[in-house]
Amino acid sequence: MARYVLRRIVTMSLALWLIITATFVIMHSVPGGPFSSEKNAPPAVMQNLNARYRLNDPYWKQYLDYLLNMARLDLGPSFKYDRSVNEIISQGFPVSAQLGAVAVSIALGAGVILGVAAAWKQNRWQDYTAMSLAALGFSVPSFILSGLLMYIFAYKLMWLPPAMWGGWQHAVMPALALSALPTAFIARLMRSSMLEVLQQDYIKTARAKGLSPAAILVNHALKNALMPVATYLGPLVAAVFTGSFVVETVFAIPGLGRYFVISVLNRDYTLILGLTVFYAVFLMLMNFIVDLVYMFLDPRIKLADDRGD
């Protein structure tokens, strides 16, 4: 186990280094700098700014400095905001993650139920209804969905507050908007994996045992059918927990997602790098956790270096 974890850490670090390097290169080849503005400041002022943020250093030095700071878990100051990148992430991420957790729960719950219902009643109305719902989730772009939700529930019906982060009422619309696509995806994934499982011999065994359909579903089919969903969960959690630009700006959620867009638009170099690193680490971590969960779900799977018995 320890060896396995160690090996994962080594490969993760290597991947991280590659990502930082690539981002650094692309980022600096994009025209425009963090301090360009409509009103051009005198050269002396620009000189001070560049000196302060070390943009006068040669690229290799900036790059090495960044790597060294990274090693100390310091992602540097934001060039645009009066906050450090660490602060921005630690303030935004919890909000995005909370909302993301709600959204993933909805997606998982609704997706699994829809998928199971569709598979269980294959080619009957339940199947068609569930799959039509899933298709809807697939087919509406998030900015339109968000806008429509707000228009209907906040503007017309006035059932929910239009925006901002507060009580549960504030989480309803953004969570729905965030979960539409993953719900649809999980529902379809669940349906096909459930159909696959339902054809397995052990399901027939379970029926021959005289088990009720509910018991077969819960005790024999569900766990086995959930495995492909578990694989998808790693990237999903990584994507949803780090926030969505559209949902966060439309519903005025103070999360992390917006920064993935505006950091680039602002050429906020440290923030771009910081977010990339954070996302990559988080994704790798989630995938690692998924592997562990998988091990729990499927006793046949063992970690590569942990062959017992």
Partner 1 sequence: MRKIFLILAALLVIALTGCGGGKAGEAAGKAKAPQVIRYNVCTEPETLDPAKSTGQPEGTILTNMFEGLVRYGPHNEIKPGIAREWNISPDGLVYTFKLREAKWSNGDPVTAKDFVYSWLRALDPQNAYEYAYQLFYVKGAEEYNSGKGRPEDVAVRAVDDLTLEVTLKAPAPQFLGLTAFPVLFPVNPGVDRETRDWPKVMEKYVVNGPFKPVKWDHNQKIELVKNEKYWDAQGVKLEKLEIYLIDNIDTGYNMYKAGQLDFQEEVPTQEMARLKAANEVKIFPDASVYFYRFNVTKKPFNDPRVRRAFAMAINRGEIVEKVAQAGQVPAYAFVPYGIPDADGKDFRQNAGNQFFEEDVAEAKRLLAEAGYPEGKGFPRVSILTNAHAGHQKVAQAIQQMWKQNLGVEVGITVQDWKVYLDSQDNLNYDICRSGWSPDYLDPMTFIDMFVTNGGNNDTGWSDKEYDALVARANFTGGQKARMEAMHQAESILMKEMPVMPIYFYTNPNLIKDNVKGVVIPPFAVYADFKNAYVE
Partner 2 sequence: MQPLLKIEDLNVQFETRAGVLQAVRGINLEIGPGEALALVGESGCGKSAAAQSVLKLLPSPPARITRGGVFFAGENLTAMSEKELQRVRGRDIGFIFQDPMTSLNPTMKVGRQVVEVMYRHGEKDNKKNRERALEIFGLVGISNPGRRLDQYPHQLSGGMRQRVMAAIALACGPRLLIADEPTTAVDVTIQAQIMELLRDLQKKRGMSVLLITHDLSLVAGFARRVAVMYAGKIIETGTAEEVMNSPAHPYTRGLLASIPRLEVRPEERLAPVPGRPPVMINPPPGCPFRPRCPEAMYICAKIEPGETILGQGRIVSCWLAHPMAAESRPERL
Partner 3 sequence: MTGVIRVLELRPEDFQALGDKGGPAEGLSADPLNYWRDVWRRLKANRAAVFGLTVIAVLVFFALAGPYLSGHTYDRQDLSMINQPPGAGFWFGTDCLGRDLFTRIWYGARISLLIGFVTGAVCLVIGVLYGGISGYAGGRVDDLMMRAVEVLGSIPFLLYVILLMVLMGPGLKAVFIALGAVYWLTVARIVRGQVLALKEQEYILAARVLGISPWRILTRHLIPNTMGPILVTLTLIIPEAIFTEAWLSFLGLGVSVPKASWGVLASEGMEGLRNYPWQLFFPAFFISLTMLAFNFVGDGIRDALDPRLRR
Residues interacting with partner 1, by CB under 8 A? 30-33, 35-42, 44-45, 47-49, 51-53, 80-83, 91-92, 147, 150-151, 154-155, 158, 161-165, 248-255, 258, 265-267
Structure tokens at 121: 């009643």
Shortest approach of partner 2 to residue 132 CB, angstroms? Answer: 22
Site string for partner 3, 145-184 (x = CB under 8 A): --xx--x---x-----------------------------
Q: H or E element: which one contains 304?
A: none
- Decide if residue 242 touches partner 3 (CB under 8 A): yes
- Decide if residue 209 touches partner 2 (CB under 8 A): yes
H-assigned helices in the chain: 2-29, 43-52, 59-71, 85-120, 125-139, 142-149, 168-198, 201-208, 213-215, 223-241, 245-250, 257-266, 269-297
Shortest approach of partner 2 to residue 214 CB, angstroms? Answer: 11
- Decide if residue 264 touches partner 3 (CB under 8 A): yes
d(CA 73, CA 184) in angstroms, rounded, equals 37
> Which of partner 3, partner 1, partner 2, none does 261 bind, CB closer than 5 to 8 A by kind?
partner 3
Shortest approach of partner 1 to residue 49 CB, angstroms? Answer: 5
The residue among 71 and 158 lying less far from partner 1, judged by its C-beta, is 158
Shortest approach of partner 1 to residue 137 CB, angstroms? Answer: 23
d(CA 38, CA 130) in angstroms, rounded, equals 52
Shortest approach of partner 2 to residue 117 CB, angstroms? Answer: 17
- The closest of 104, 233, 123 to 178, measured between CA atoms, is 104
> Which of partner 3, partner 2, partner 1, none does 54 bind, CB closer than 5 to 8 A by kind?
none
> Which of partner 1, partner 3, partner 2, none does 51 bind, CB closer than 5 to 8 A by kind?
partner 1
d(CA 15, CA 195) in angstroms, rounded, equals 37
Quick check: 157 and 200 in contact, CB under 8 A? no
DSSP designation for 186:
H
d(CA 195, CA 71) in angstroms, rounded, equals 48
